[in-house]
Amino acid sequence: MNGPVKRQAGIALVTAIFVVALASIAAVAMFEASNIAVHRTANLVQSEAEWWYADGIESWVKGVLIEDAKINKNTVGLNGLWAKPVDFLPIDGGAIRGHIEDLQGRFNLNNLGPKPTPQNNPNGGQQQQQHDIYMEQFERLLDNLPNFDASKYRGVGYAIRDWIDADDERSGTDGAEDSDYLGEDPPYRAANQFMISTSELLQVRGVTKELYAALAPYVTALPGNTEININTASEPVLLSLSRDWDKSSLQKLLAARKLTPLTETATALPADVLAKVSVTSQYFGLHAEVFIGSGRLALYSVMVRQGGGVPYVLTHSTNSE
């Protein structure tokens, strides 16, 4: 009798151990699932809070631009309210930092295309000349990029023009159309429309990551053709405007505008600059970061202020421009 009883007791013990093990596994799994759910909920709450703060930042910037327009009605300069960065603003559980930039202090890539023709535009001849001026300006910008040798990238402006224009004809030997991109892996086509973001440059034939990094601080992608604001443009962008800059005059302009922006374009500028510049701007770029806990949300917004009207957001993106 002892043999069967011992076997039954052994089986019962093994069964009990097995049940306890299953219960422990189930408990651990439930705890981990609960822990994951708690963290997921916390992350969602944190993400939602970051979004609310980002939305609030855009509303705040609209107010800044409105107040700035009241003070500086006909000019946009580096002394404006919009030009004061926020390095650290504490919020519940984190902080905010950011700055506003005058995007018309940059070269607008969309100025390179599309190309007008006399056949479909009564002013086509005049606009064609202006169009070629923009290409020359872009080439000079390449020449004046600081700490970067862009000599091997000359001609890339024509590939950018082909990326924007609607036709399928190369703009000379340096152009690039669908046939040049369909051979890529994976294949793709030229956009054939105005650029929405400067990051599109990375899709254009001939534009490397190194060239993009060097160009990015000096270019933008705004709707249609825009003028350069000489009150806010950086030195490389100003140098791109003309081949006839007098260096001492340029340095005087850079120093003077820090205190008082120019109120007219005819002041101390080479003659060939006047058709491409302004002393005011409509387009502003917001770069903001929201930090809550261990999370971070980067906000990039293009804002438009026309005259004394209420500014509005043209485009925005998060975590990448």
246 pLDDT band, cuts 50/70/90, is confident
Per-residue pLDDT tens over the stretch 18-66: 677 676 776 676 766 666 655 555 556 667 778 888 888 999 999 999 9
Domain span including residue 295: 2-104+283-318
201 in a domain, yes or no? yes
Question: Does one domain contain both 112 and 216?
Answer: yes
User: Does the pLDDT at position 130 exceed 60?
Assistant: no
Q: Using CA atoms, how far apart are residues 62 and 47, in angstroms rounded to an integer? A: 23
Q: Using CA atoms, how far apart are residues 79 and 56, in angstroms rounded to an integer? A: 24
pLDDT of residue 198: 95
User: Which pairs from 311-320 meet CB under 8 Å and 24+ separation?
Assistant: 311/61, 311/62, 311/65, 311/66, 311/284, 312/62, 313/58, 314/223, 314/283, 315/196, 315/197, 316/58, 316/286, 317/197, 318/54, 320/199
pLDDT of residue 153: 95
Mean pLDDT in the chain? Answer: 85
Q: Which of 198, 222, 246 is the last residue of a domain?
A: 222
Q: Are 46 and 295 in contact (CB under 8 A)?
A: yes
Question: Does one domain contain both 76 and 172?
Answer: no
pLDDT of residue 124: 46
Residue 86's beta-bridge partner residues? Answer: 98
pLDDT of residue 61: 94
107 pLDDT band, cuts 50/70/90, is very high
Residues 6+ apart with CB under 8 A from 74: 263, 279, 280
84 in a domain, yes or no? yes
Q: Which of 200, 222, 244 is the last residue of a domain?
A: 222
User: Does the pLDDT at position 286 exceed 80?
Assistant: yes
300 in a domain, yes or no? yes
131 pLDDT band, cuts 50/70/90, is low
Rounded average pLDDT over 81-91 = 92
Question: Does one domain contain both 18 and 97?
Answer: yes
Per-residue pLDDT tens over the stretch 205-216: 999 999 999 999
Question: Does one domain contain both 55 and 138?
Answer: no
What CATH number should be reported for the domain holding residue 213? 1.10.40.60
Rounded average pLDDT over 169-196 = 93
237 in a domain, yes or no? no
Q: Using CA atoms, how far apart are residues 23 and 27, in angstroms rounded to an integer? A: 6
Q: Are 116 and 131 in contact (CB under 8 A)?
A: yes
Question: Does one domain contain both 131 and 78?
Answer: no
244 in a domain, yes or no? no
pLDDT of residue 187: 94
299 pLDDT band, cuts 50/70/90, is very high
Q: Using CA atoms, how far apart are residues 114 and 169, in angstroms rounded to an integer? A: 12
239 in a domain, yes or no? no
Rounded average pLDDT over 267-293 = 85
Total tally of structural domains belonging to the chain? 2
256 in a domain, yes or no? no
Per-residue pLDDT tens over the stretch 132-147: 889 999 999 999 999 9
Question: Does one domain contain both 67 and 130?
Answer: no
Question: Does one domain contain both 181 and 95?
Answer: no
Question: Does one domain contain both 43 and 123?
Answer: no
287 in a domain, yes or no? yes
pLDDT of residue 125: 47
User: Does the pLDDT at position 167 exceed 50?
Assistant: yes
